[in-house]
Amino acid sequence: MAILLFAFLASVLALLYAAIQSFFVLREKDGNEKMQSIAKAIREGSNAFIKREYKTVFVLAFVIAVIVALVLPHGLVLALGFAIGAIGSALAGYIGMMVSVRANVKVAKKAEKGMHEAFRLAFKGGSVTGFAIVGFALVSLTLFYYAFGNPDLMFGFMFGASLISLFARVGGGIYTKGADVGADLVGKVGLNLPEDDPRNPAVIADNVGDNVGDCAGMGADLYETYVVTIISAMALAFALNLGQAFIVLPLAIGGMAAIATLIGTFFVKLSKNKTYIMGALYKGLVATTLISIIGFYFLTYYMMHSLALFYASIMGLVVMAVMVIVTEYYTGSKAKAVRKIAESSNAGAGVTIISGLGYALRSSFIPMLVIIAVILSSYYAVGGSLSLNNFGLGVYGIAITAVSMLSVAGMILSIDAFGPITDNAGGIAEMSNLPKSVRDITDPLDAVGNTTKAVTKTYAIGSAAIASLSLFAAYKANLTDMLGSLFIQQFQIFNPLVLAGLFVGATLPFLFTSFLTNSVGVAADGIVQEVKRQVKEIKGLLTGKARPLYGRCVDIVTVISLKNLVLPGLIAVLVPLAVGFILGPLALGGLLLGVILSGFALAFLMTISGAAWDNAKKYIELGNYGGKGSDAHKAAVVGDTVGDALKDTAGPAINPLIKVENTVSLLFLALIVMYHLL
């Protein structure tokens, strides 16, 4: 009870902080009329997309909620949870976006005053997103558990959150890269309109994309990962009968880390030597991590009397650190891989792609080794130490590792949401013809955004891997409750049903991302056709005398994104149900594991290659290998285009895919088992 109160108060504190920060952001100045009109166009486009996306998605969600309510035991509570999770996830995305589309123009304005001021405001904007999301997640989790007192009744909550986050990731992902690639291509199909040029009709759609993809998509994604991770740990403690303290520990860790994050924000400071912006952000992350460790020590040792759990919680922070380091190693703006890829661009676009794939293919190996080391050590430390060598308990250690990794999501999100704000600020500065001194401030801020985005993605996929293992353990625990431990012994890798499920699961991320990748091409083509049409039909557009119809481009990508969101969404929900009902719970268990196994490596391949190509292009633009406009640069641009689709659409969607597979399976497990027993 005291712990619940603690978690509740911490979440209220986080929400308060978000409100205060948002107050400070909103009272900043908006800049001149031109800037405001551009910002307004971006804001309207983003709102229009989100409204239509949510309308589409909520129809589907409503149908599912009704099915859940009617078909499942405790259906009403599960449906209520589903609704809360879905709304929470949607809200998380929406808040992030709302702040971003307001802060962008203010940062552009602030950049007139200097780097320090612009940086501070942009981070303030990012932290609103971070704290709002973590605060909302924690407060709703705490209240829901307080109201119903049974983690198993929270499976609907999980599923709602992951389903919406999947749609937000897919829809936003197709939108953002369809618009981005389309806007880029416009220059190449003979129209000669640069990316951020106000005469380019796709320019607003492109800026809208940053907000709906990187803000709304990422916000929904991390909200969901946070919620799912905590619930799965609670459900595991419940299924293993570990007692109340173990059930609420994940909430306490979340609360503790929220406080640590709040303190950590004060450490985010640009030093006098202004060049290392990334360092200023990392300072906040390091501070948050250290304070969290101290907090976790008190929670686990004094409260739970177990240093083993403390150890497990530290492991989560270790995984986070490794993900950051590996991402920097392969994609940092001065990384060896990035420089090699840039160098290979001299031999043409083909070699750029080959070289980038070469590095990205290996990027998952070290993270994988770290994850298994952490799994094994958390498992044996907790399973071997807590009361009577209960190795069944080892999985709870893994779950706590996942919770601890996710607990600092507030800081990661603050850093991440910083990116699209500065990206937009740069675009607004360009389009409003602000003096070059302003771009000199926003450009380096924007460049950092590239790395922070990549870091957040590998953080998300790393946490998804561990979190889904604790979901997987919850699946096992629940199935044991239903069918007994003798049945569970059939979960052998030699069992043909398990094998079949593993095969389906391992192939699923490939199938799923296939549709996303193709949709980017379709959306980009839609943009190109529309721009061609406008150039032809609107007189004076190319000379800047007539205003292009920005809204039409926004509409077109919106429609294409929403149309192409349905099929992958259905695949994600229906494949596990089909496997469960046709082949049974053994195959379904295999599927859940298979998705993680190949999804992990595939997500790294896509995320890392994209970020590395992006920074290789930027490296050339700094003047290396002939600089902008050289043949090497043209080759690097091709790499960047391919990378856009992989790193911002296909790759990040694997994360919610993995979670949706797990949550839909947990939710419908009872029904599947009943079906097979009949």
Residues 311 to 350 in contact with its own copies, rule: CB under 8 A: 344, 347-350
Which candidate, 180, 185, 172, 187, places its Cα nearest to that of 203?
180
Minimum Å distance from CB 496 to its own copies? 5
Two tokens, residue 645 = 């689709």
Contact between 506 and its own copies by CB under 8 A: the answer reads yes
Question: Is residue 361 near its own copies by the rule CB under 8 A?
Answer: yes
Question: How far apart are CB 663 and its own copies at their closest, in Å?
Answer: 18
Dist CA 144 CA 151 (whole Å): 9
CA quadruple 585, 586, 590, 593: dihedral positive or negative? Answer: positive
C-alpha gyration radius of the chain: 24
Torsion of CA 92, 157, 515, 358, to 10 degrees: 70
**Which residues, numbered 473-502, are part of the site for its own copies (CB under 8 A)?**
473, 476, 488-489, 491-494, 496-500, 502
Nearest distance from residue 490's CB to its own copies, in Å? Answer: 9
Q: Least Å distance between CB 267 and its own copies?
A: 34
Per CB under 8 A, which of residues 597..656 are in contact with its own copies?
597-598, 600-601, 604-605, 637-642, 645-646
State how far the Cα of 460 lies from the Cα of 446, in Å rounded to an integer. Answer: 21
Using an 8 Å Cβ cutoff, are 548 and 201 in contact?
yes
Q: Which is nearer to its own copies, 225 or 513 (CB)?
A: 513
Considering only residues 182 through 211, tell me which ones interact with its own copies, judged by CB under 8 A: 185, 188-189
Residues contacting its own copies: total by CB under 8 A: 82
Near its own copies by CB under 8 A: residue from 353, 405, 620, 664? 353
Side chain identity, residue 610: G
End-to-end CA distance of the chain: 41
Measured between alpha carbons, how far is 347 from 334 in angstroms, rounded to an integer? 21
Site for its own copies in 432-471 (CB under 8 A): 469
Among 384, 521, 551, 584, binds its own copies (CB under 8 A): 521
Residue-by-residue DSSP string for 378-398: HHHHHHHHSTTT-GGGHHHHH
Amino acid at 94: Y
Q: What is the 3-state secondary structure (H, E, C) of 193-244?
A: CCCCCCCCCCHHHHHHHHHHHHHHHHHHHHHHHHHHHHHHHHHHHHHCCCCH
| Least spacing, CB of residue 375 vs its own copies, in Å | 6
Closer of 93 and 568 to its own copies (Cβ): 568
Among 289, 355, 463, 558, binds its own copies (CB under 8 A): 355
DSSP 3-state assignment of 305?
Answer: coil
User: Minimum Å distance from CB 361 to its own copies?
Assistant: 4
Angle at 78 between CA 73 and CA 81, to 5 degrees: 170
Annotate 619-674 with DSSP letters as a single string: HHHTTGGG-TTSHHHHHHHHHHHHHHHIIIIIHHHHHHHHHHHHHHHHHHHHHHHH
> What is the spatial distance between Cα 658 and Cα 575, in angstroms, rounded to a whole number?
12
Binding range to its own copies, per CB under 8 A, among 10-18, 31-39, 325-333, 352-360: 352-360
Query: Which residues lie closer than 8 Å to 49 by C-beta, 6 or more apart?
Result: 175, 208, 212, 554, 558, 561
Nearer to its own copies, 81 or 462 (CB): 462
Residue with smaller CB distance to its own copies, 412 or 508:
508
Q: Angle, nearest 10°, between helix axes 365-385 and 394-407?
A: 130
Minimum CB separation of residue 178 from its own copies in Å reads 11
Site for its own copies in 143-182 (CB under 8 A): 181
- Least gap, CB of 595 to its own copies (angstroms): 10
Residue with smaller CB distance to its own copies, 525 or 621: 525
DSSP string for residues in 440-485? HHHHHHHHHHHHHHHHHHHHHHHHHHHHHHHHHHHHHHHHHHHH-H
Given the structure tokens 């912006």, which residue do they identify? 277
List 264, 589, 652, 656, residue binding its own copies (CB under 8 A): 589
Q: Looking at 57-65, 447-455, 516-524, 619-627, which segment touches its own copies (CB under 8 A)? A: 516-524
- The region of 14-22, 131-139, 238-246, 372-380 touching its own copies under the rule CB under 8 A is 372-380
Give the nearest distance from C-beta 531 to its own copies in angstroms.
Answer: 12
Q: Whose Cβ is closer to its own copies: residue 456's or residue 513's?
A: 513
593 near its own copies, judged by CB under 8 A: yes
Q: Which is nearer to its own copies, 13 or 499 (CB)?
A: 499
Q: How far is the CB of 81 from its own copies (least distance, A)?
A: 26
Q: Which residue has the tokens 């007192």?
A: 149
279 binds its own copies (CB under 8 A): no
**Distance, CA of 588 to CA of 577 (rounded, Å):** 8
By CB under 8 A, which span of 116-124, 536-544, 587-595, 619-627 interacts with its own copies?
587-595
Q: Which of 375, 438, 611, 632 binds its own copies (CB under 8 A)?
A: 375
DSSP annotation of 539 reads T
Query: Could you say whether residue 67 binds its own copies (CB under 8 A)?
Result: no
Q: What are phi and psi of 538, to 5 degrees?
A: -95, 110
Range 378-417, binding its own copies (CB under 8 A): 379-380, 394-395, 398
CB closer to its own copies out of 422 and 641: 641
Does residue 544 belong to the site contacting its own copies (CB under 8 A)? no
Site for its own copies in 79-98 (CB under 8 A): none
Q: Does 472 bind its own copies (CB under 8 A)?
A: yes
Token pair 């498992």 in the structure block, residue: 379
Q: Which of residues 547-586 bind its own copies (CB under 8 A)?
A: none
Chosen residue from 288, 364, 451, 607 binding its own copies by CB under 8 A: 364
